[in-house]
Structure 1
Amino acid sequence: MRKTTNAHPPCHRSSAIRGNQRLLARTICAALTMSLLATAAVHAQDAVASVDSADSPEKAKDLEGITVTGSRIRRVDVETANPVITIDRAQIAATGKVTLGDLVQDLPSVAGNATNASTNNGGGTGAATISLRGLGDRRTLLLVNGVRLAYNDVNSIPANMIDRIEVLSDGASAVYGSDAIGGVVNFILRDRFDGVQFSTDFGESAHSDGFRRNFSLTAGHTGEKGSIVAGVSHHTIDEVSAANRDFSRDALNLSSGEVIYSGSSATPSGSITLPSAQAAALGCGSRVSLNSGVSGRTGTSDYHCYSKADSYNYQRDNILQTPQERTNLFALGKYKLTPDIEAYANVYYTKTKSDSLLAPVPIFANGDNYLVSADNYYNPFGVNFGTDRGTGQSYNDFNTRLATLGKRRYSFTTDNTQINPGIRGSFGDSSWRWDADINYGKLKQRSVNYGFLDYAKFQQAVGPSYRDAGTGVVTCGTPGNPIANCTPINLFNLNDPATIKALKGIQVNPVTTTNYTVKQFEANANGDLFDLPAGTVNLAAGLSYRKESTSTTTDPLAVADLDGLCGVVEFCTTVLSGSFNVKEAYAEALIPLLTDKPFIHSLNLTVGSRFSDYSSAGSSTNSKVSLEWRPIENLLLRGTVSQVFRAPNIKELYSGIGGDSPTVNDPCNFYTGGHSAACANVPTDGSYQQANPQIGAKTSGAIAAGYQLKPEQGKSFDFGVVYDPQWINGLSLSADVWRINLNDTITSISAQTVLNQCYANASSPFCGFIHRFDTGAINYVAEPTVNLGSLSTKGVDSNITYRFDESRFGRFNVSLNNTYVARYDINPNPADPSSVTIHNAGKYTYAYGDFPRWRSLATLNWKSGPWSASWRMRYIGRTQIGSADERQQLSADTDQAAVVRKIGAYTYHSVQAGYNFERWHTRVDLGVDNIADKQPPLFYQNNVTNSNTDVATYDVMGRYYWARATVTF
């Protein structure tokens, strides 16, 4: 597959050679400032040369025995049975990326629904996650120096502390335990540095928005007995409004083969469902909306028949890029206590402030369980709307939006601390090495949620009210039972100044705080056991104990009951706390079988096994077998078969009941009968059509749902070849065929899956998760976390790298990295013969994300003296939305079944160039990402959540200029 040697870099990232005038001016100013600082230290050691040189004695000593991600055994070989891709510091610098999430998410092996800064609806914390093989971030294990990352956000790791990144795209539960089903991303820290390095970075899109600035300072010293490296970085990016791009400024839907402007039925002018007789009297089918320009109390003549043209364009209120401010601090140190024992400690802290901005609060009288009384003074129709929370009786629909209160804003402050002290050493002059460490991680995330309403006061304000005959004042309650300290709200005309004042008077901003802690002890040892004719048998073994705990607190008003209801309109959460612990032991052995035989230059076998005992999910033993065969010295054939598993994580266990607004296609649209379980209360005359593709849903963890989760279990297969032909110096070729089968998958069931499976089978256990009103419209769909179904995926990775010999034109390196997905199948209930398998390969689905057959990353790098440049091409193959197989209930169209929309292939080009001013110890880099300013394809809002497109796969910023200046002294 891909090589791990720096001589043949497999994965480069790059950006561009131009910037606008303002950006260039800032960069030159920063560079001159740092150059003046550097002039005072012209005799200082060049830290980059001393640290990064591959010829340094310390690095040469390391190559006598190193550990490559995917195995605990120290090896001289960097090409082993494990398909590992390595991204070194030079490659990271060439990308111009200031967050590691942006860097890693572009790898071809990453697919599906990963969170990034463009995920506003469903994101907004500033976090970025990694989804290797499209299996989700919960099945991708993140490590720092081989130790679990406490907070699953790669943006929390400052880029200036990274020496290299190793990506293992193979199941590794036998080596690392739970979560390593899709693979492992291991961030190796810089533990050797002499001098001081300061870097500043600026960037801005060609649309004059999305401005970013980054400052980092790294300092270190290496002595005879130890070293210390410390640093700080500060990173800020501005928000980008969805209104600033043509593709995202309007809520677009594909309906009956036509693209229509169709947003939410929760519109400030109201989407009001009337009894059939009243609607007919107004010449309408069922729903009406307020005319524009009406003031004060309304009458029935102030309304017109509701149409899709009345829907609310929420897209212009949303954002394409999450605004965030991040500060990172880190310190890494080691010290030799004796010639054979070394103490070390890694400490880092990240503080992130970010905002998620959404359209003003939507109000669904039935979905939010409040009752607009027929006796409300401002009600011109004289009928009840919504649901009586006390009796559960539902009436007519009343949808509106509190636009006069402004946008919803979720303001997050995340503090993440991780401390990893330990000691390591050797047993005298033997080959055995040992280490023992403690890993402590603490996460505190506080969110302040703006723009919501006190439910009890709101219910009083829209309940019965009257005009007092004596005072002429409109009063809550009835003449015989007035309600004190309550101002009636004219929900039928939100532009009324008195209504705006009353709404602001009952506005609340609930605060939620989540704490998470991980405490871990781990001890490992590895070394030689005994000699065989073909070589020495190596053994690695260890044990660990880990405890994870979490707790959530919130304002009393926002605490949800068992039905997900609380004292705040449209914002509820559950107060829960819990913990679990796991005890583990593992052993791994490398056994040389043959060497220097005909057609066998070497033949090695690796076996390993890990026992895990979870207090929350029981015990599990998982093993692996790997074989490495070199018929000749430069040809490696390799294969690994391993058992994989994943225990439920802390969120899956202890997440409370929360709200969700998924986009679905109701399979009961135009229903004519035959699926009563899925389509309860839906008229059978074919007239039903969902009013809004976004529906209400309630998510929850297993504990809140009363469900006992068990681990996922499965197998992972990888078979590959690596060839470095002697007859073409500098060329390296690799290919790996991989396959992963997984059972009892732990998942939060998507609303679409619930609807589809119940529609296909009336006895499906999902049917109980569907809740409809008396009219047949969806009230909400429950999305609990359970063990459900099977997952099977397979594909091929390939890599070509070539390092040209140096010439008078400089040195060139080229690489091409590819991933082909042949299968990605999900069966929600394999035990049910009628359960429908969802085929995701080559498709986008809301529940699982985008799986184009092909993804590629190609780079061309050049260096000559102080100059360097790179050209990077990221390829995303063709995909499609919808399936022609009606059983899968996947359609790209809201009103027609089995509609397929094809999306063409995309290629993004980025370039970068830099110059090293050696006299001033300063380097300047300029770059442009997405040179062609290519805009993402339209997926339409009926298929996605954010911005009419798939923000996890495609670039939404457009052409982006960046510049960086770095001085070392």
Structure 2
Amino acid sequence: MYKSSLPRAVRSALSAPGVGASAVLLGCFALPASAQQPEPASEADKLETIVVTGSRIRRVDLETASPVFVIDKGQIEKTGKLTVGDLLQSTPVIAGGATATNGAVNNGGGTGAATIDLRGLGTARTLILVNGRRLAGPAPDVNAIPINLVERVEVLKDGASAIYGSDAIGGVVNFILRKDYQGIEFGVDYGIADADDGQRKGVTMTLGHSSDKGSLMVGVNYHKQDSVSAADRKFSREALYLSSGSVSAGGSSRTPRGRIFLPADLIAQFNCPASAGGSVTRIPGASGASLSDYRCYNGAVDAYNFQAVGNLELTPQERGSLFVVGNYRLSDSVEAYVEAFHNKTRAAFAIAPLPFDARNDNVLISRDSIYNPFGIDFGRSGDNDSGNAFALRLEAVGNRRASTAVSTDQINMGLRGGIGNTSWQWDANFTYGGFSQSRLFGGYIFQPNLINAVGPSFIDANGVPTCGTPTAPIAGCIPVNMFNPTETPEGVALLSAPYRTNLNYVQREAEVNANGELFELPAGVVSLAVGTSYRKEYQNFSPDFLATALPPDYTNCLLAQDACTSAVVGSYDVKEVYGEAFIPILRDVAFAKTLNVTLGSRYSKYSTFGNSTNSKFGVEWRPLDDVLVRGTIAEVFRAPTISNLYAAPASNAPTFRDPCIGVTSPVGANANIDRACANVPRDGSFQGPPNGQTTGLVAGNPNLRPEQGKAFTWGLVYDPSWLEGLSTSVDFWRFALNDNISALDVNTVALQCYTAGNLCDYIHRFEADGQVFYIDQPTLNLGRLDAKGADFGIKYRLPETRFGTFRASLDATYTAQFNQLIRDNNGAPTGTIYAAGQFNRQLGNYARWRGLGTLSWELGNFDASWTTRYVHGFDLGTLRPGGESADGTLPNVVVNYGATTYHNLQFGYRIEPINARVEVGVDNAFDKQPPILFQNNVTNGNTDPVTFDTVGRYYWARFSIKF
């Protein structure tokens, strides 16, 4: 289905007059030959020049020093995909934890956005371009690009900071837009899962007109996707855990009947086993008014299955787009152009009701509440920590949910043309990008009301439950029975508090480019591209005052801790200048049909940190006509984002395994353990957080430096003349990145403190029992990242037969190494994450092999294709000292997973009399289920929804017609 390289025949076809002009990227407009260049000296010079992603030099060749993966419009249509994010999910070069499968990411997703993570280096290290210009947004959402506007997608698998600036570390994804379209095109799409859910509908329309003076194309795109419930899929309907060597259907200890932790004298009355952890729960059906209504907590039967009560495997989305692309020739040598699109997206998520924790939420349940049968305080109020934990699932408030409205605008306009009777062309343009997101959250509680409702209360003279004391009643407050909330519905109703967040991001850029020929050498013409730009970016994330985290520790706000966040406001500007030269060294000599080098450099001056200069060297050597040997060495960098720099402290809830679980080392025996496990009992009874998560506190850092590193590629392309239609390629790659910008992972902090005494100041525990209060996760230039591997591609068009034309292709990526060295804020190494061949809960999935194979057939008006996507087996957990364990209780547990292969089938028929086409298809034809990774390792549906299909077998159909 997808191309990894373009064979000789394709290069010639795209270089033909009238085709090459439509392939020009970066706004480089090809004027008529008489206005482009002097009379050519050879037949090759008659071919129209184009620009390929990864360079700004106009050339005839599409195969250059940099490897580029291409998905054209015909291939896009045969996938049946309605969004760009779904389209790119199958690309083998994508790894890690990006939300490329955005609809399947519910817990932590549900915004409708899709981001791209090339090589697994992180979404912030992948540059997204539209016709060579940056797509705006704090994390550019490729789903905002109307899919019927895309002519093709070019994925540069090489570092390109010298060409494009910051972020182009792991590579570049460049969406090339259609243009010069003539006529009307209308299409409708429909899809539905085999389980009779997840229905989708789509409509597209494109209108275009072209003339000698210019062209205009406008279009609309609408698509709606229904949700899929986790309860409706076998692999996700239960919350599955791996603990103590066994798999069980469990869930959260925050249950609707509560998990109540009691001091020794009270818990002794219940004679509970050690597995209860010193806690009790209300007996089903009991009122909770007396101690006899409670029994020992038993996780095997009492754990709350949050998967079955509203969690989603596919989130609902609805989006509409409008676009316009046009150009108008002002004179023989000057043309005006505009490329613009507007997208609106509505999406949602839903997760289980709010898990309330009196200690973490800074709420004190008073011993003097009329509903408290235990006669002791629970939770805390500031420094007043009762030492008694109280956890509850607030089903009475309803599911947590959010609806998201997103608006994305991208406008590029400018002038371009030629300079006299020369080969030189210029382009002056201005780009505006705007991104706005508004989110409305529900299912949360107003903390001040809750504090009053669970504080002291009494029965007044009229027999009415009243908040406060007889001498100081609290008006407008109804006491809430946290031990059985269903008995006080009026009080619970007063707690509900929806809130909003708003995010606005604006990007403005002015750019001037020029390129052309300098002079001729014996081996060919030396070409040059130069340019300068000015870009300013501004971000304002403003949460509702209810959800704004409050000092001094920023872990709480006026809502439950789950909702607390912080504002991010800031801006920066950057001035840049670049130059790139193409130099032919040898031509038509022994062992060198051609030998070319490319040199490029970019100087960037940021208002936030200063200067950065990055250069690139590329070489192309053809010892024979059929063989291209290529390689690049590139300096790369990433500037800190506005969030990296200016984010105020905000809490999150990462998956966490406390290294102090079961600790028996006496105080004073090991200084590192003493610091890591402060206040933790040393009798082996400590069980860590009851829900497998903790509170992390992330904050920006205005003193961050940019990431700096190098990217290397070297490889070979073989297009044998003895076998027409065959093209093969192999490219090896390596990335070495220093000063990584990242927030410390809570597990890294805890393990480093426990094993080496590092980062201990970031851990904050409660004095009463040693449970983690929160762990600081500062954003730092943490260390070094080393990754290497290889890309393989083969494409073969078989000779035409009476049975039709067959084509086969295979693209694969192998990840040999992915090591992330972590340092503390003093620069000392604190450990290394070895992610290759692993699923890492912090970084994502790094299966060593990923592949995409396609077999297609065409005969007359009929066509069909069979596509397979392969994800190699991987390990969950590691045996390395201090490494992550797949087991929620036992250390150093490794689970091995086999390979996963998906099969997609497509069949099409062209109805010539009406110029229409019908397509039908089935994705995941054999209903392959995703591997179970367990809830103690993931946060979405027991699996990795970024890598694996969570919907199952899916049928789709499309009808399109052209006039």
**TM-score, normalised with respect to structure 1:** 0.93
Instruction: Answer yes or no: is the 8 Å Cα contact 2:334–2:415 preserved in 1.
Output: yes
User: 1:304 maps to which residue?
Assistant: 295
Instruction: Answer yes or no: is the 8 Å Cα contact 1:367–1:696 preserved in 2.
Output: no
Instruction: Answer yes or no: is the 8 Å Cα contact 1:376–1:465 preserved in 2.
Output: yes
Question: How many percent identity over aligned positions?
Answer: 47
Q: 2:84 aligns with which of 100, 103, 111?
A: 100
CA–CA separation in structure 2 for the residues paired with 1:2 and 1:774: 61
CA–CA separation in structure 1 for the residues paired with 2:766 and 2:807: 60
Secondary structure of 1:726's partner?
Answer: coil
Q: 2:559 aligns with which of 558, 568, 575?
A: 568
Please show how residues 21-32 of structure 1 align to structure 2 within 5 Å.
Answer: none
Q: 1:161 aligns with which of 136, 144, 149?
A: 149
Instruction: Answer yes or no: is the 8 Å Cα contact 1:265–1:311 preserved in 2.
Output: yes
User: 1:640 maps to which residue?
Assistant: 632
CA displacement at 1:326 relative to structure 2: 0.5
User: 2:653 maps to which residue?
Assistant: 661
Instruction: Answer yes or no: is the 8 Å Cα contact 1:9–1:87 preserved in 2.
Output: no
CA–CA separation in structure 1 for the residues paired with 2:430 and 2:694: 44
Q: Is structure 2 residue 70 aligned with structure 1 residue 70?
A: no
CA–CA separation in structure 2 for the residues paired with 1:380 and 1:826: 52
Instruction: Answer yes or no: is the 8 Å Cα contact 1:2–1:734 preserved in 2.
Output: no
CA–CA separation in structure 2 for the residues paired with 1:346 and 1:697: 45
User: 1:40 maps to which residue?
Assistant: none
User: 1:743 maps to which residue?
Assistant: 738
User: 1:946 maps to which residue?
Assistant: 940
Please show how residues 162-561 of structure 1 align to structure 2 within 5 Å.
Answer: 162-284=150-272, 285=274, 286-295=278-287, 298-308=289-299, 309-316=301-308, 317-389=310-382, 391-468=383-460, 470-496=461-487, 499-561=488-550
Q: Is structure 2 residue 6 aligned with structure 1 residue 5?
A: yes
Answer with 819-828 or 670-679: which moved more. Answer: 670-679
Cα RMSD for the two superposed structures: 1.8
Change (3 A) 1:646 1:394: farther
| Matched residues, number | 918
Secondary structure of 2:564's partner?
Answer: coil
User: 1:670 maps to which residue?
Assistant: 662
Instruction: Answer yes or no: is the 8 Å Cα contact 1:173–1:622 preserved in 2.
Output: yes
Q: Is structure 2 residue 889 aligned with structure 1 residue 895?
A: yes
Secondary structure of 2:356's partner?
Answer: strand
Instruction: Answer yes or no: is the 8 Å Cα contact 1:678–1:767 preserved in 2.
Output: no
Change (3 A) 1:192 1:592: same
Q: 1:109 aligns with which of 83, 93, 101?
A: 93
CA–CA separation in structure 2 for the residues paired with 1:773 and 1:210: 49
Instruction: Answer yes or no: is the 8 Å Cα contact 2:198–2:228 preserved in 1.
Output: yes
CA displacement at 1:529 relative to structure 2: 0.9
User: 2:677 maps to which residue?
Assistant: 679
Change (3 A) 1:833 1:437: closer
- Residues 928-959 of structure 1 deviation map (CA, whole Å, 9 limit, x = unaligned): 00111010010000111100001111111110
Structure number with higher relative contact order (C-alpha < 8 Å, ≥ 6 residues apart):
1
Q: 1:589 aligns with which of 556, 561, 581?
A: 581
CA–CA separation in structure 1 for the residues paired with 2:374 and 2:873: 52
Q: 2:18 aligns with which of 58, 63, 67?
A: 58
Q: Is structure 2 residue 863 aligned with structure 1 residue 868?
A: yes
Q: Is structure 2 residue 936 aligned with structure 1 residue 936?
A: no
CA displacement at 1:769 relative to structure 2: 4.3
Answer with 485-494 or 281-290: which moved more. Answer: 281-290
Q: Is structure 2 residue 114 aligned with structure 1 residue 128?
A: yes
CA displacement at 1:804 relative to structure 2: 1.2
CA displacement at 1:239 relative to structure 2: 0.7
Instruction: Answer yes or no: is the 8 Å Cα contact 1:265–1:691 preserved in 2.
Output: no
Q: Is structure 2 residue 649 aligned with structure 1 residue 651?
A: no
Give ranges in structure 1 of 5+ residues lacking alignment. 11-52
Secondary structure of 2:124's partner?
Answer: helix
CA displacement at 1:783 relative to structure 2: 2.6
Please show how residues 698-717 of structure 1 align to structure 2 within 5 Å.
Answer: 698-703=696-701, 707-717=702-712
CA displacement at 1:772 relative to structure 2: 4.3
Change (3 A) 1:773 1:591: farther
Q: Is structure 2 residue 677 aligned with structure 1 residue 689?
A: no
Structure 1: which amino acid aligns with 2:480?
I
CA–CA separation in structure 2 for the residues paired with 1:353 and 1:8: 44
Instruction: Answer yes or no: is the 8 Å Cα contact 2:341–2:411 preserved in 1.
Output: yes
Structure 2: which amino acid aligns with 1:353?
R
Q: 2:129 aligns with which of 124, 143, 156?
A: 143
Structure 1: which amino acid aligns with 2:164?
Y
Instruction: Answer yes or no: is the 8 Å Cα contact 2:821–2:831 preserved in 1.
Output: yes
Structure 1: which amino acid aligns with 2:534?
Y
Structure 1: which amino acid aligns with 2:704?
L
Instruction: Answer yes or no: is the 8 Å Cα contact 2:193–2:954 preserved in 1.
Output: yes
CA displacement at 1:816 relative to structure 2: 0.6
Structure 2: which amino acid aligns with 1:369?
N
Secondary structure of 1:677's partner?
Answer: helix
- Residues 440-463 of structure 1 deviation map (CA, whole Å, 9 limit, x = unaligned): 111110000101111111101111
- Residues 158-197 of structure 1 deviation map (CA, whole Å, 9 limit, x = unaligned): 1100001000011111111000110000000001211111
Instruction: Answer yes or no: is the 8 Å Cα contact 1:174–1:586 preserved in 2.
Output: yes
Q: Is structure 2 residue 602 aligned with structure 1 residue 610?
A: yes
CA–CA separation in structure 1 for the residues paired with 2:767 and 2:841: 25
Instruction: Answer yes or no: is the 8 Å Cα contact 1:268–1:401 preserved in 2.
Output: yes
User: 1:957 maps to which residue?
Assistant: 951
Secondary structure of 2:18's partner?
Answer: helix
Structure 2: which amino acid aligns with 1:446?
S
User: 1:630 maps to which residue?
Assistant: 622
Q: 1:719 aligns with which of 714, 722, 726?
A: 714
Secondary structure of 1:809's partner?
Answer: coil
Structure 2: which amino acid aligns with 1:480?
T
Please show how residues 723-872 of structure 1 align to structure 2 within 5 Å.
Answer: 723-762=718-757, 764-765=758-759, 767-772=761-766, 774-829=768-823, 835-872=830-867
CA displacement at 1:539 relative to structure 2: 0.6
CA–CA separation in structure 2 for the residues paired with 1:556 and 1:277: 42
Answer with 259-268 or 78-87: which moved more. Answer: 259-268
CA displacement at 1:274 relative to structure 2: 0.2
CA–CA separation in structure 1 for the residues paired with 2:472 and 2:186: 71
CA displacement at 1:509 relative to structure 2: 0.5
CA displacement at 1:694 relative to structure 2: 3.4
Secondary structure of 1:179's partner?
Answer: coil
CA–CA separation in structure 2 for the residues paired with 1:736 and 1:392: 61
Give ranges in structure 2 of 5+ residues lacking alignment. 22-29, 31-46
Instruction: Answer yes or no: is the 8 Å Cα contact 2:200–2:224 preserved in 1.
Output: yes
Answer with 924-933 or 647-656: which moved more. Answer: 647-656
Structure 2: which amino acid aligns with 1:503?
V
CA–CA separation in structure 2 for the residues paired with 1:719 and 1:150: 32
CA displacement at 1:8 relative to structure 2: 8.0
CA–CA separation in structure 2 for the residues paired with 1:9 and 1:941: 48
- Residues 331-382 of structure 1 deviation map (CA, whole Å, 9 limit, x = unaligned): 0111111111111111111101011111011101111111111111111111
